[in-house]
Structure 1
Amino acid sequence: MIIIGLVMFPSFKAGEMEDMVTDSRDDPQTDFIYCFGANTEVLKFGSCQLHSGHKILFLIIPGNPGVVGFYRTFMQTLHRMFGYRHPVWAVSHAGHCVPPDSMDMVEDASLAAEGDVFGLILIGHSIGCYIILEMIRRDPELKVLKAVMLFPTIERMAQTPQGKVMTPVLCQMRYVAYLPLFLLSLLPDRLKTSLIKLVFGGIHSLDLSVVQPTVGLLSGDCAANAMYMGGQEMKKVLERDNITIRKNLEKLIFYYGATDHWCPIQYYLDIKKDFPHGDIRLCENGFRHAFVLDTGREVAKMVVEWISGDLTTQVL
């Protein structure tokens, strides 16, 4: 699940990327901030500070686990295809990233416990598509002209094939996994890397840039926080917010997986029936739900093709 918030669109020709080569502009900056008392990572391609000259911001809100490093290739491709002109940022979920040594996981432990910051936080740095609908609902004046909803889990998560398996694990048996997670966190990073590559060995075109973020996820409390958030998703992502979708239908692009166990094809058929005039697409490329593992570049190119027509319109 990823949301790309578009404040305004530039003029662009999709073919411009093909002749580009990697340069220093492909290197992102990582910032760590406390958001509502919880350590949060922000991955930034392009400008690290927004100013009046910026007319567009691509904002990526990841799925779960909300580790922004998983989206590096996807973000880098977007940044390059737009000629490095516009910042592309991603915000991690609270507590899903390993903080630097100078920062604690939470700024104030009592505040974190009181505010439940590692759950389903509906203030802009939580799970992608569901959260962006909530953001639009809460603030109708939010200047988002387009929201691209990739593999959207916006309804009935516990009733999906994967949800039926994971709900008891995440909601009732989560604590059983904490001990092995703790033991894994004690392993040296080199051994963690080897184990992760072994687990991912079945993915033919694995994007190696996802290995290091996975190593980080197995450090400290990150995986436990991701599991807790998953349990909250099973409990809280229930009915589709048709009212918000209907009010903002022209802003939304939905892209459903053809074999997505977190969002079965019946959900695509249902929303297509309810919103026949919406831009609602079904994957024809065989992309997996966790597309960042092997097709981040391909999905980014596809997104650019979708919105390239709107870009010129908005600039003119």
Structure 2
Amino acid sequence: AEEAGTRPPSARPGRRCSAAGGACSPMTTDMLGAGAAESTRPGSEEQVPLYEEFIYCCGAATQVLKCGPWKDLLETESKTLPRLLFLIIPGNPGLAGYYRTFVRALYHGLNRRYPVWVVSHAGHCKPPNGMGMTEDTDIKELEDVFGLHGQIEHKLDFLRKNVPKDMKLVLIGHSIGCYITLEMMKRASELQVLRSVLLFPTIERMAQSPQGKLLTPVLCKLRYILYMPVYLLSFLPERVKTSMVRFVLRGLKCPDEASIVTSLNLFSVDCVANVLYMASQEMMKVVERDSTTIKQNLKKVTI
């Protein structure tokens, strides 16, 4: 952060965010009220502005969580615009809601000086009412956007359309998000990446791991049989779905409410189909570690 030379910004709330043209459409939804930040307990690290938006990026529904008063980095006045953005690239399922607690804690740990964002994978979130999973657009733009290659381009397109070109970045990848992060650095060397933090990296030989050997045939050949059970479960009342999620997550020491609510997205057939499709490609394409990219960016990579 010190390398970015950023002054502490004003506490003035940012303006309502919108995506700027191109493959990112400006349709957004604030799920926390009319432009309001999520309310939190006084005196805790959670008492920070957290905004949730749904946009179309590369023609696919995308959820974005933004922590800090900067809701639109392209329109924020230069005097209050930070010069550094922390961007989280999720694992799979790539639901931004799983990272709410982490985003708040990181923002608080940075003394609230820099924005912390997390962008979901394309099509992994259930869009709000009135918004489809895909945008009515040219089919070429949607070609394999839900696959592993498409998800990488999806993140790069998000940065191009929502972040100033001279903005310095700290990329934080989780699980398969680490693979995506390395590919972003490889494909877009113009990105001003100060640091790339890889959390629990999944960057090589996925299909050869014990779980990979078990899941690869299921994900690549049999995943379609899972769609019908998910479809039937989607008709259950919300309280029943919530109880099921709590039961599945009972083994966790302290599953927070955000994880439980976020997991309800996995009762959507579209979301599950996109999650499993991406996972099947991970097994086939994440083979050899990209040692070349790691060596070229060795001073920037933290594992």
TM-score (norm 1): 0.71
Contact map agreement 1:6 1:58 (CA 8 A) in 2: no
SS at match of 2:192: coil
Matched, 1:194 2:266: no
Contact map agreement 2:45 2:108 (CA 8 A) in 1: no
State the Cα distance separating 1:110 from its structure 2 match. Answer: 6.3
Matched, 1:37 2:59: yes
Question: CA 1:129–1:55 in structure 2 vs 1: closer, same or farther (change >3 Å)?
Answer: same
State the Cα distance separating 1:25 from its structure 2 match. Answer: 4.8
Distance 1:220 1:202 in 2: 25
The correspondence of residues 78-93 of structure 1 with structure 2, limited to 5 A, is 78-93=106-121
Matched, 1:55 2:46: no
Percentage of pairs with the same residue: 50
Aligned residue number for residue 147 of structure 1:
196
Unaligned 5+ segments in structure 2 are 9-41, 157-175
Contact map agreement 1:106 1:112 (CA 8 A) in 2: no
Distance 1:212 1:94 in 2: 19
Richer in helix (by share): 1
Cα shift readout 1:62-97 (whole Å, capped 9, x = no counterpart): 000000000000001011112222111000001111
State the Cα distance separating 1:171 from its structure 2 match. Answer: 0.5
Contact map agreement 2:207 2:283 (CA 8 A) in 1: yes
SS at match of 1:125: helix
State the Cα distance separating 1:206 from its structure 2 match. Answer: 2.1
Cα shift readout 1:133-190 (whole Å, capped 9, x = no counterpart): 1111112221011010001001111111111111111101100101011111111111
SS at match of 1:128: helix
Distance 1:164 1:10 in 2: 47
Aligned residue number for residue 21 of structure 1:
43
> Which amino acid is the alignment partner of residue 128 of structure 2?
P
> Which amino acid is the alignment partner of residue 198 of structure 1?
F
Distance 1:243 1:25 in 2: 42
Aligned residue number for residue 96 of structure 2:
68
State the Cα distance separating 1:244 from its structure 2 match. Answer: 0.7
SS at match of 1:175: helix
Question: CA 1:6–1:198 in structure 2 vs 1: closer, same or farther (change >3 Å)?
Answer: farther
177, 180, 185: which one pairs with 1:131?
180
The correspondence of residues 257-272 of structure 1 with structure 2, limited to 5 A, is none
SS at match of 2:299: helix
> Which amino acid is the alignment partner of residue 43 of structure 1?
L
Unaligned 5+ segments in structure 1 are 13-19, 255-316
How many residue pairs match? The answer is 243
Contact map agreement 1:136 1:142 (CA 8 A) in 2: yes
State the Cα distance separating 1:41 from its structure 2 match. Answer: 0.7
Question: CA 1:143–1:135 in structure 2 vs 1: closer, same or farther (change >3 Å)?
Answer: same
Aligned residue number for residue 24 of structure 2:
none
Contact map agreement 2:65 2:96 (CA 8 A) in 1: yes
Aligned residue number for residue 100 of structure 1:
128
Distance 1:109 1:179 in 2: 28
Distance 1:74 1:227 in 2: 25
Distance 1:181 1:64 in 2: 17
Aligned residue number for residue 217 of structure 2:
168
Distance 1:90 1:106 in 2: 20
Q: Is the deviation greater in 67-76 or in 201-210?
A: 201-210
SS at match of 2:197: strand
Distance 1:213 1:249 in 2: 35
Matched, 1:232 2:278: no
Runs of 4+ in 1 over 4 A off after TM superposition: 9-12
Question: CA 1:201–1:23 in structure 2 vs 1: closer, same or farther (change >3 Å)?
Answer: closer
SS at match of 1:26: coil
Question: CA 1:248–1:118 in structure 2 vs 1: closer, same or farther (change >3 Å)?
Answer: same
Which gives a bigger RCO, structure 1 or 2 (Cα 8 Å, sep 6+)? 1
TM-score (norm 2): 0.74
Cα shift readout 1:102-138 (whole Å, capped 9, x = no counterpart): 2110003762795111111222539411111111111
Distance 1:167 1:218 in 2: 22
